Amino acid sequence: MATGQENITEDVINRPISGGSVAIGNTKYAVGLLWAPLQNQDDPIPEIREAMEAEPAADLYCLRTSTAPQYGLGKTIFGHHSGEPALAASVAMALSGKNSACCVFKLDEGWWFIAIRNDLILAEEDVLFHTEDEAKRAFFAMMAVPDWDVRIVPAEWNVEGAEQQDLKALIENVRKTRLFELSAAKKTQILVILALGVIIALAFLFYIAVSFLSSVFEQAPIIQMPTPEVVRPVEPAPEKPKPWERVPQTDIFINRCWNNAYQLEAITIPMWKMGRVSCTPKQLSTSWHITNARGARLAWVKSALERYKLNKVNVQLDPSGTSATGTVQFSDIPMVLSMPSLTADQIKEQLTDIRQATALPIQFSEQTVKDPPDNPDGTVPPNQQTYKYFSFSISSPYSPQEWKVFFDKFSGLEFIKISYEPTLDARNKWTYEGRIYAK
């Protein structure tokens, strides 16, 4: 029996997915799908089509909505069918309250293996093995990655800390995520394009008809007397926008940082460890460092990102081969008006009350900003305005979603930076820095 201490080698990372259909009670489920995080939730079809074109024989897909949305690709040549539910999605939904899960279920068709991290089904860890030894190797190789909340294996494996569960009972009351043909989505898009073409053609014909009638009934030009020139008063220069009139929209910014940080943390890169994640309204940045120099490969960083379809991450590799940095640009976070509603005294009172109620190390201080700033010679420029605000810094184990009630409490709030520390023993994983402008 394996001990659970094997290293994750390249042949394990690049093993082919074994797919097909398995029977759970009276229902056939699809296994062996290729999973990837969904980048564009508003219009997922172009992203899925691009992934299908890059994956040979992929002709079916399913969409999984969760805190970290995903899509799975299936293949009819593997025995997958349109309308068939994805077994991995059902198990992930049943275990959604857990941070991570690594499971092997013994079925009539073989041994089915699945691994989930941060509510993401790992890209190529939805596998149906035909022998028990293959399933054991996959499970114990994944045990080299620490911090699994749930481990489910057959009882006869005698794995410490693991449990055996009945798969049918586990997913019995879970909503099914089914496979579809992409052609159905394509047909809908074609009909929309045809309808737009008909509308444009009718509009063009109407324009021609109106132009023709206008030329037939055109009247002789009417000579008008010139109107006296109106002298307009000189308008004052527009007032400069106040600093709280263009701040990043809070909910979109924290969701973008939260989703990207967890997607990056869910990636397993053998012998590499991810460092601190920092988000500003412009971009996310992070780094990876080698944890074991023997056998570690620099190419695994980029290949892991490509496997998870995270093409938006710009990776820069250190020439020394010991570290890499990654950035994700936030070019579409809207800048909105957030009118301050509290005075400086009221803001101070609210922050003090929150610090006392939570017993968290919330740091804040009253400050001012001048716009425009003083001239280099110390003189004050004309029309200078002084704005009062409280800068704050909060370190806690709570995620942005859990702090959202606090952030929504203040109008005139501007985020400067959000940081996430993925280290397992970090007490305060999240740090929030920003400003709250006073009325």
- Residue 245 and residue 179 in one domain: no
Give domain status of residue 335, yes or no: yes
Could you tell me if 40 and 168 lie in one domain?
A: yes
Residue 255: pLDDT above 50? yes
Asked whether the whole model's pTM tops 0.85, one would answer no
Q: Are residues 295 and 392 in the same domain?
A: yes
Q: Are residues 261 and 154 in the same domain?
A: no
Distance CA 81, CA 73 (A): 12
Distance (Å, rounded) from C-alpha 96 to C-alpha 113? 17
- 211 vs 170 pLDDT, higher one: 170
The set of residues, in sequence order, having a beta carbon less than 8 Å from that of 41 and lying 6+ positions away, is: 69
Q: Are residues 149 and 250 in the same domain?
A: no
Tokens 């305060």 correspond to what residue?
Answer: 428
Contact of 307 with 124, CB cutoff 8 Å: yes
Q: Does 249 reside within a domain? A: yes
> How many Å apart are CA 62 and CA 75, to the nearest integer?
12
Check residue 310 and give its pLDDT: 67
Range of the domain at 427: 241-439
Between 37-41, 90-94, 99-103, 180-184, the lowest mean confidence (pLDDT) is in: 180-184
Indicate if 275 and 157 belong to the same structural domain. Answer: no
Lowest model confidence (mean pLDDT) among 13-22, 56-65, 338-347, 416-425: 13-22
Tokens of 291: 């944890």
Between CA 208 and CA 172 the distance in angstroms is 63
SS3 of residue 215 by DSSP: helix
Asked if residue 102 is part of any domain, the answer here is yes
Scanning the structure block, which residue is given the tokens 């929150």? 354
Out of 67-76, 216-225, 348-357, 364-373, least confident range: 216-225
d(CA 193, CA 340): 45
More confident residue, 124 or 172: 172
With respect to residue 432, please indicate whether it lies within any of the assigned structural domains: yes
Distance spanning both ends of the chain, measured CA to CA: 68
321: left (phi > 0), else alpha (psi -120 to 50), else beta? left
pLDDT of residue 400 exceeding 60, the answer is yes
Residue 343 inside a domain? The answer is yes
| Element housing 257 (H / E) | helix 250-266
**Is there a domain that residue 212 lies in?**
no
Report how far residue 437's alpha carbon sits from residue 344's, in angstroms, rounded to the nearest whole number.
8
Torsion angles phi and psi, residue 21, rounded to 5:
-120, 145
Asked if 27 and 150 sit in the same domain, the reply is yes
Domains identified in the chain, total number? 2
Is residue 311 domain-shared with residue 420, that is, in the same domain?
A: yes
Kindly provide the residue ranges of all beta strands, DSSP E only, lying in 90-188, ordered along the sequence.
100-107, 110-117, 120-129, 150-152, 180-181
Q: Are residues 146 and 266 in the same domain?
A: no
Question: Given the structure tokens 């924290």, which residue do they identify?
Answer: 254
* Contact predicate 19/113, CB 8 Å: no
Q: What is the crossing angle of helices 400-408 and 250-266, to 10°?
A: 170
CB 305 within 8 A of CB 314: no
Query: Which helix (H) or strand (E) segment is 420 a member of?
Result: strand 413-420
177 lies in some domain: yes
- Please give the sequence-ordered ranges of beta strands (E in DSSP) within 32-77, or none if there are none: 34-37, 60-64, 70-74
Q: Which of 151, 167, 183 is where one domain is finished?
A: 183
Mean pLDDT value across residues 355-379: 88
- 22: closest CA among 130, 143, 107? 107
Contacts of residue 303, defined as CB under 8 A and 6 or more positions apart, other chains included, come to none
Of residues 237 and 410, which shows the higher confidence score? 410
CB atoms within 10 A of CB 339: 11
- Give residue-wise pLDDT tens across range 50-108: 999 988 889 999 999 888 889 999 999 999 999 999 999 999 999 988 889 999 999 99
Residue 327 shares a structural domain with residue 179: no
Residues 247 and 178 in one domain: no
Spatial CA neighbour of 29 closest among 185, 186, 183, 174: 174
Asked whether residue 262 falls in the same domain as residue 406, the answer is yes
Helices (H), 321-373: 344-358
